[in-house]
Each structure stands twice: as structure tokens, then as C-alpha cells.
Amino acid sequence: MSWKRGRGRLLAAVLLLLAILPNVSAFEIKLARTNYFPYETLQAEITGNFTSEISLGNIFFMLNGKETELPAYLVQLSNQQYFLYTELPRKPGNWSLVVKNIFYYENGTLKGEKKQQNFTIEDVAVLYYTELIEDIQKGWPSDVESISYYLIALAYDSKIASAGRDALLAKSKNNGECWPSPTCNVR
């Protein structure tokens, strides 16, 4: 009876050990999430039973299928676990993190396939607002059409709208007296 009890405890200990040990037999890329906003930090965990160390030369970023360089930081926690960090650019679209040119073991078999994890950078209107504000702080555009577009985009900010109106009226021939008359001649 005690032999069976000891055997059961041994089996339970082995199962517990297998459950606790991380499964690093497969090459895997895990992202913290798959949707990001511009300028956020992408965090990725790269795990596997690699034959050599991974370097930044093995890591590529793709935007809509085209390779795009992004500065990244790679931290090696062990020979089988890495963390990658990068600040995402403003460019919205469908992105991929690709790890290639690396050999790893999967179920005892040596493999050299590339792995890819897809993510999206969403477009954010507030970034356009910030860019418009920066542009007009340097000076209002010289053409009436551009000033009009800026006014439409920034109309809810009364100070900016007032400054834009003044810039627009300054372009009229009669110092703004005929504006917004359809016969007004704006230079």
C-alpha cells in the first residue's frame, strides 16, 4: 500500500514540475496587445529553444508588407526568453513584428522558420490637431484655402479661430471690409 502511495506522490510531483516549467519547446512571439496608438511602447516576449542568441539583427518590423526600421531594445532574460521594447511611430496601419534567421528546436527537431506577430497602429485625430497647432504657431499659411481648412479643423478653439479669421481677412483687398461677400476679391 505504501509503495502505491509513494508512486502516486512521485507522479504528482512530476506532473506539478511539468506544469511549473515554462514550455519553451516552441518558438513563440507574444505581444502585450494587438492594437496600439502612435507613440505607445510595444512590448513583446520572444521564447523558444534557440540554438544561438537572438539579436536586433533578427528582428524586423513590417508596415503593410514593407520592411520599416524602428529603433528597438532587446533584453535577454535567459537563453530561451527575451523581451523586446520599441516606441511605435505615428504611422497608422497594419504592422508585423517578424523574427527570422534564427534556428530553434521544436519537439526535438531543428527548425529555421520565421515567426510573425501582427498588430495595428490606430489613427488618432488628436495628433492632427497637435500638428495643426504647431504649424500655426510658426505662422498661418499664405493661401486662403489652407487658412480655411485650418479654421474648419480648429473652429472649436475660439482664440485660434479668431487669429485665423484675422489672417484670412488680412488677405482681402479691402482690409476685410468685403469679406464674406461673394464679390470680395481676396488676393
**For residues 44 and 77, is the Cβ–Cβ distance under 8 A?**
no
What is the DSSP pairing of strand 35-36 with strand 115-121?
A: parallel
Grid cell for residue 136: 500655426
For residue 184, how far is the Cα from the chain centroid? 47
Distance of CA 182 to the CA centre of its chain: 47
pLDDT digits (tens, 9 = 90+) for 166-181: 776 666 555 555 555 6
Q: Which CATH code fits 22-121?
A: 2.60.40.1930
Q: What integer pLDDT is reported at residue 138 of this predicted model?
A: 78
Q: What is the pLDDT of residue 24?
A: 44
What confidence tens digit (pLDDT) does each residue in 17-76 have?
444 444 445 899 999 999 998 889 999 999 999 999 999 999 999 999 899 999 999 999
Radius of gyration of the chain measured on its C-alpha atoms = 29
| Integer angstrom CA distances of residue 40 from 5, 94, 98, 114 | 54, 15, 19, 25
Read off the pLDDT of residues 91-110 as tens digits, 9 standing for 90 and up.
Answer: 889 999 999 999 999 988 99
Total-model pTM: 0.59
Cell of 11: 507522479
Q: Which amino acid is at 12?
A: A
In the prediction, which pLDDT does 172 show? 59
> Per-domain residue ranges for the chain?
22-121, 125-169
Which pLDDT score, from 0 to 100, does residue 52 have? Answer: 92
